[in-house]
Amino acid sequence: MAAANDRLGSSFLKIFKHPASSYGGYDYTFVDGDPPSNYICLICTLVSRDPHQVSCCYNIYCKSCLDKHRKKNSRNGTFRCPACRELLDLRSYFKDGRMEREIKALKVQCTIEECDWKGTIGDIEAHVMACPYRMVDCSLGCGEKICCREMETHLRDCPKRIVSCQYCKDGGPHDIITSSAHLDECRSYPIKCSNEGCEFIEERFWFKYHQKRCPKAIVYCEYSNLGCDELIKREEQEKHNEEFSKEHLQMAIKQVDSLQTKCTCSSSSKVFKTSGYKMMLCVYANGYGRGKGTHMSCYTVLVPGEYDDVLGWPFEGEVTVELLNQNEDRNHKKLIIKYDDSTPKDCKERVTKTMSERWGKDRFIAHSAPEFKGIEYGFLGPRYFRVSARVTSKTKPWLV
């Protein structure tokens, strides 16, 4: 190889390292030492791959090296020989079959250092493809490069191996099935009740039903709507009712007495204003008029105000009353009370005493409705109302 370099000079030699590729010569470790210099491509200085001989000086080149040299240096279809500088064209070089046969018979070592395989150039590319030491991408796509001989072991532990969830039996890649992304949603994952003293452990699917019935859960007393503010374990509700039966009865009697008082309602709001008019909200938990005993009734009344002398009468407008769902900001129970031509006169005229006549709805919410009884609807216990009002009269628009 050194003799060839000396003979041709270094001015036109270029070194290319493309082992086991379609371009350039063979860059292997030869078993019997350096090969004869006449096997060397005078362009890449490696053992010629697909050797071609030029007709001018009979030197050998890799076909790919010679083709690249021709394309780069061609003028009007001709180019100069890298060695003797004679003009050549496509007909001036040809495949040297005898030389190729001799080259492919040269003995070389496997390109992978750990492998001790030795064979001919003609066999090495097939060997490299099957070499147990070759590094390849994981066939399951985990992104790792694995030695072929260790692939079977890797696949048994690969994070992308397909497994079944031990709880719900759904299949998928190991790293997904065992992650919190799956386990936090798995319907069959065992959940332990967080209520102190409860030993319940069950699949997530059933757990939500247990939460509504857990005997260890802390709940409001059944008589919280009467004023009992005790928080007790669900399993102790009956015992609590027995021990506080007298207090519960007194609360019930007090509320009945309150409901029977005609001059006041069971829930009287602070005074609120709209464009100078003063009003109040009146709520009867046990009903009034046609709703007595069966519904919650809801009304608004006008009360005397400091600007009544300059306001327009009768009052015209509308009041929106909402019984608030305390669990979430939606599904509130709404009532719109309109003061218009259909409103009785004594409900909308200026008042000089305590309050005007009530105007609203006798049957606002039925006692049998879930909203009136069920704690899960967020209406049980202390009840909260949101009231907004607006004037529709344009008699004195600067007051609106």
Q: In which band, very low, low, confident or very high, does the pLDDT at 91 lie, cut at 50, 70 and 90?
A: confident
Considering the domain architecture, whether residues 343 and 232 belong to the same structural domain is answered as no
Q: In which band, very low, low, confident or very high, does the pLDDT at 106 lie, cut at 50, 70 and 90?
A: very high
Q: What is the pLDDT of residue 396?
A: 55
Q: What is the pLDDT of residue 373?
A: 59
List the domain range (segments joined by +) for residue 391: 267-399
CB-count exposure of residue 336 (10 Å: 0-12, 13-18, 19+): exposed
Distance CA 48, CA 159 (A): 45
CB-count exposure of residue 224 (10 Å: 0-12, 13-18, 19+): middle
Distance CA 370, CA 169 (A): 39
SS3 of residue 333 by DSSP: strand
Q: Would 319 be classed as within a structural domain?
A: yes
Six-digit token string for 174: 């190991």
Express each pLDDT in 39-60 by its tens digit.
999 999 999 999 999 999 999 9
Task: Examine the fold and report which residue of 54, 77, 109 is the final residue of a domain before the chain moves on.
Answer: 109
Express each pLDDT in 321-348 by its tens digit.
998 887 777 888 999 999 999 999 999 9
Task: Examine the fold and report which residue of 82, 109, 136 is the final residue of a domain before the chain moves on.
Answer: 109
What φ, ψ does residue 150 adopt, rounded to 5°? Answer: -105, 5
Q: What is the pLDDT of residue 267?
A: 54
Considering the chain, what is the average pLDDT of its residues? Answer: 83
Considering the domain architecture, whether residues 314 and 346 belong to the same structural domain is answered as yes
For residue 268, give the nearest of 300, 291, 294, 315 by alpha carbon.
Answer: 300
Q: In which band, very low, low, confident or very high, does the pLDDT at 22 lie, cut at 50, 70 and 90?
A: low
* 185-194, 303-312, 314-323: segment of lowest average pLDDT: 185-194
Are 88 and 71 within 8 A, CB to CB? no
Are 363 and 295 within 8 A, CB to CB? yes
Considering the domain architecture, whether residues 242 and 355 belong to the same structural domain is answered as no
Considering the domain architecture, whether residues 245 and 334 belong to the same structural domain is answered as no
Considering the domain architecture, whether residues 12 and 78 belong to the same structural domain is answered as yes
Q: What is the pLDDT of residue 324?
A: 87
For residue 36, give the nearest of 84, 99, 126 by alpha carbon.
Answer: 99
Considering the domain architecture, whether residues 312 and 251 belong to the same structural domain is answered as no
Distance CA 102, CA 122 (A): 10
Q: Would 141 be classed as within a structural domain?
A: no
Considering the domain architecture, whether residues 234 and 271 belong to the same structural domain is answered as no
Tell me the chain's radius of gyration from C-alpha atoms: 48
Q: What is the pLDDT of residue 371?
A: 67
Distances (CA, A) of 350 to 308, 344, 354: 7, 13, 11
Number of domains in the chain: 3
Query: Residue 5 pLDDT more than 80?
Result: no
Q: Would 56 be classed as within a structural domain?
A: yes
Q: What is the pLDDT of residue 368?
A: 84
Q: Would 280 be classed as within a structural domain?
A: yes
What sign for the dihedral angle of Cα 338, 341, 346, 348? positive
Mean pLDDT throughout 12-27?
52
Six-digit token string for 154: 């890797």
Mean pLDDT throughout 164-173?
90
Q: In which band, very low, low, confident or very high, does the pLDDT at 90 lie, cut at 50, 70 and 90?
A: confident
Half-sphere exposure of 152 (CA within 13 A, CB side): 2
Query: Residue 397 pLDDT more than 80?
Result: no
Q: How far apart are the first and last CA of the chain?
A: 105
Considering the domain architecture, whether residues 361 and 251 belong to the same structural domain is answered as no
Q: Would 203 be classed as within a structural domain?
A: no
Considering the domain architecture, whether residues 384 and 301 belong to the same structural domain is answered as yes
Length of the chain: 400
SS3 content of the chain, % helix, strand, coil (to 5): 30, 25, 45
